[in-house]
């Protein structure tokens, strides 16, 4: 067994108590954990390190929540290296509070519209921690740097900045993966997380933007929505890279508004089938998730979060009702919106925080004719454009291969666009000219159901539109600036200060990207502009010039890339 997880503040508390000479040795000594044998019960954990040394953890809900609850029997304790190793090598607990069995229903009134002094102080602490990470880089951010970040995360959580705290924990996990040489480390993802958190801290400190969204919530907030008549649209299989899996069922009410009911738990692909066949947590309809996705329900006393996720409070009642096919209202209305408008809606949704992103806002509803296979994808001809449909998961890919072999088949599809691949979308469910059995009413969920060749009713004899070339990824003209951002996130300020950016600045200027060139020049100058004392030694930089230069460049790359992807997608679907 590995060492027990710890609360964020514990790591900083333990490492702060170490003498400087031991604190410097923590990172190099982390390999010792692999030799420890840790045993645990409900409230305690033990590890015997040698004949004279043992560690004892006192746990609360399986987590070490206080530095004093970690006891070492060696003579140097509590200022010993063993305790520092134990907390530095542990996973960080995201939330030590007991989960509520019933979603919280919050009133309609909201908190203050501006950040409080404690919130600004917490945001400033997180900003400084991120600036330290930028100066050191992921490879140089050892246990001490991570501990300072985790201390700031704890301060943010106490102040009620839950969105920033969650973001900080993800950054801390990425830094730990980088130091351990874990293959899961992704410097592009770390760059994106740092840009997001630093922008969040800046906005909180300066009261820019909706404060409620900037704060986030400790757990999802649910508000009363009353009674709804809901129709199943589809059930989507979910397998995330963060270790969670399950399904999400998409529903539509009489007004055409989309809602979701998730069933996602820790686990891998094996959890998908169990979640799909498991009961729906909302009310007591007696339906499974998969049945709800092709059925209907009457909801009373309902609650929902801002992103239209339905709650499962004690007052919620649900009764199974008749379904509607994709060719009947209100479902058919989803396909009435022009495809360019759907693309714009999907890209606008991607700019919202996930907790406030309306359900289904990033979905496309497509009508088209199968052209065949193209580069491993199903090519679909719609009235506006030719689109490539790909699948996530082996079942979805196999289903699309069967459909791609039936040229001329008319299909109705629910899909999600891939922003960096204009004209390419992930297909979630299909309906149309399919001879489906009774248990596959109305449509096929591509990640859960199997399409047999006998289900394909198309004869492939219709006259088809011409076949275009496969879609390509969005070009990235700001790549020189993007590369510097990634190098700083990975290797720190010194990496950006080593190489000259003059050639890239000149190249960007020649191509008309003057703003990008200026930002690259500013970042390069800020990375080299470090003061020296009377003896010529570099003075430790604690100002904001370098972090601000990096953040401005990061925001420019993010928004430029989004705008380029949106423009390329609109061009791909024939929007002038």
Whether 460 has a pLDDT exceeding 50, the answer reads: no
| Nearest CA-CA partner of 47 in 17, 66, 29, 73 | 73
Residue carrying the six token digits 């700031």: 152
Q: What is the pLDDT of residues 282-331, one digit of tens each?
A: 888 889 999 999 999 999 999 999 899 999 878 899 999 999 999 999 99
Write down the pLDDT at residue 106.
41
Q: What is the pLDDT of residues 163-203, one digit of tens each?
A: 999 999 999 999 988 988 888 889 999 999 999 999 999 99
In order, the DSSP letters of 391-454 are -SSHHHHHHHHHHHTSTT-EEEEEEEE-TTSTTEEEEEEEEESB---TTS-S-EETTT----GG
Contact 272, 261 (CB under 8 A): no
pTM of the model: 0.83
Tokens of 515: 């703003």
Ramachandran area for residue 216 (φ above 0: left; ψ -120 to 50: alpha; else beta): left
Contact 159, 121 (CB under 8 A): yes
Contact 374, 342 (CB under 8 A): no
Rounded to whole angstroms, the Cα distance separating 473 from 189 reads 18
Lowest mean pLDDT among 288-297, 446-455, 467-476: 467-476
What's the pLDDT band for 475 if we cut at 50, 70, 90?
low
Rounded to whole angstroms, the Cα distance separating 479 from 511 reads 13
What's the pLDDT band for 101 if we cut at 50, 70, 90?
very low
Distances (CA, A) of 335 to 341, 342, 391, 464, 564: 11, 9, 21, 22, 26
Write down the pLDDT at residue 372.
87
- What mean pLDDT comes out for the span 11-22? 91
| Nearest CA-CA partner of 554 in 4, 89, 130 | 130
Lowest mean pLDDT among 111-120, 306-315, 424-433, 533-542: 533-542
Rounded to whole angstroms, the Cα distance separating 574 from 339 reads 9
Lowest mean pLDDT among 246-250, 357-361, 551-555: 357-361
Write down the pLDDT at residue 365.
97
| Nearest CA-CA partner of 410 in 431, 426, 379, 425 | 431
Tokens of 56: 């004892």
Whether 429 has a pLDDT exceeding 90, the answer reads: yes
Contacts 24+ apart (CB under 8 A), 520-524: 520/480, 520/481, 520/484, 520/553, 522/549, 522/552, 522/553, 523/481, 523/484, 523/485, 523/488, 523/496, 523/549, 523/550, 523/552, 523/553, 524/484, 524/496, 524/497, 524/500
What is the average pLDDT score of the chain?
A: 87
What's the pLDDT band for 213 if we cut at 50, 70, 90?
confident
Q: At how many degrees (to 10) do helices 187-206 and 162-180 cross?
A: 150
| Nearest CA-CA partner of 235 in 266, 265, 271, 263 | 263
Q: What is the pLDDT of residues 399-411, one digit of tens each?
A: 999 998 888 899 9
| Nearest CA-CA partner of 547 in 206, 197, 207 | 197
Whether 437 has a pLDDT exceeding 60, the answer reads: yes
């Amino acid at each position: 067994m590995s060492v027990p997880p710890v609360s964020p503040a514990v790591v900083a508390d333990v490492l702060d108590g170490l003498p400087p000479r031991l604190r410097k040795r923590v990172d190099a000594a982390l390999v010792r954990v692999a030799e420890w044998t840790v045993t645990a019960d409900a409230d305690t954990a033990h590890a015997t390190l040698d004949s004279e040394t043992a560690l004892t953890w006192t746990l609360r809900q399986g987590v070490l929540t206080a530095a004093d609850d970690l006891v070492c029997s060696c003579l140097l304790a509590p200022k010993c290296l063993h305790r520092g190793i134990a907390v530095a090598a542990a996973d960080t607990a995201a939330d030590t509070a007991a989960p509520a069995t019933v979603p919280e229903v919050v009133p309609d009134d909201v908190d203050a519209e501006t950040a409080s002094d404690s919130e600004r102080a917490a945001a400033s602490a997180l900003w400084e921690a991120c600036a330290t990470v930028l100066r050191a880089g992921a490879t140089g951010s050892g246990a001490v740097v991570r501990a300072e970040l985790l201390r700031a995360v704890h301060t943010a959580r106490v102040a009620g900045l839950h969105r920033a705290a969650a973001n900080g924990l993800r950054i801390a996990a990425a830094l730990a993966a980088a130091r351990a040489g874990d293959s899961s480390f992704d410097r592009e993802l770390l760059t994106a997380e740092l840009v997001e958190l630093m922008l969040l801290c800046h906005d909180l400190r300066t009261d820019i933007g909706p404060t409620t969204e900037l704060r986030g919530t400790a757990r999802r907030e649910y508000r009363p929505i009353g009674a709804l008549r809901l129709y199943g649209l589809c059930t989507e299989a979910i397998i995330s890279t963060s270790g969670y899996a399950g399904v999400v069922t998409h529903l539509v009410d009489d007004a055409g508004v989309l809602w979701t009911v998730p069933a996602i738990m820790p686990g891998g692909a094996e959890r998908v089938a169990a979640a799909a066949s498991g009961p729906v947590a909302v009310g007591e309809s007696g339906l499974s998730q998969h049945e709800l996705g092709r059925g209907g329900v009457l909801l009373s006393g309902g609650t929902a979060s801002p992103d239209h996720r339905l709650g499962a409070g004690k007052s919620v009642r649900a009764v199974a009702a008749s379904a509607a096919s994709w060719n009947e209202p209100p479902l058919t209305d989803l396909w009435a919106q022009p495809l360019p408008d759907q693309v714009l809606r999907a890209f606008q949704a991607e700019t919202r925080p996930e907790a406030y992103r309306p359900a289904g806002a990033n979905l496309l509803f497509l009508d088209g004719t199968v052209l065949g296979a193209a580069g491993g994808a199903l090519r679909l001809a719609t009235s506006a454009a030719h689109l490539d449909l790909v699948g996530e998961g082996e079942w979805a890919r196999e289903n699309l291969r069967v459909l791609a072999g039936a040229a001329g088949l008319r299909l109705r599809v629910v899909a999600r666009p891939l922003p960096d691949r204009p004209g390419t979308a992930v297909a979630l469910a299909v309906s149309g000219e399919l001879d489906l059995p009774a248990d596959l009413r109305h449509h096929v969920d591509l990640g859960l159901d199997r399409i047999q060749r006998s289900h394909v009713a198309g004869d492939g004899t219709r006259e088809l539109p011409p076949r275009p070339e496969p879609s390509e990824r969005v070009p990235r003209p700001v790549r020189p600036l993007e590369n510097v951002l990634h190098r700083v996130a990975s290797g720190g300020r010194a990496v950006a200060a080593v190489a000259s950016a003059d050639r890239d600045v000149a190249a960007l200027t020649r191509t008309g990207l003057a703003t990008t060139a200026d930002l690259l020049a500013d970042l390069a100058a800020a990375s080299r502009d470090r003061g020296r004392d009377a003896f010529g030694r570099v003075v430790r930089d604690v100002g904001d010039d370098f972090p601000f230069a990096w953040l401005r460049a990061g925001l420019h790359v993010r928004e430029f890339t989004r705008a380029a992807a949106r423009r390329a997608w609109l061009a791909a679907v024939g929007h002038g």
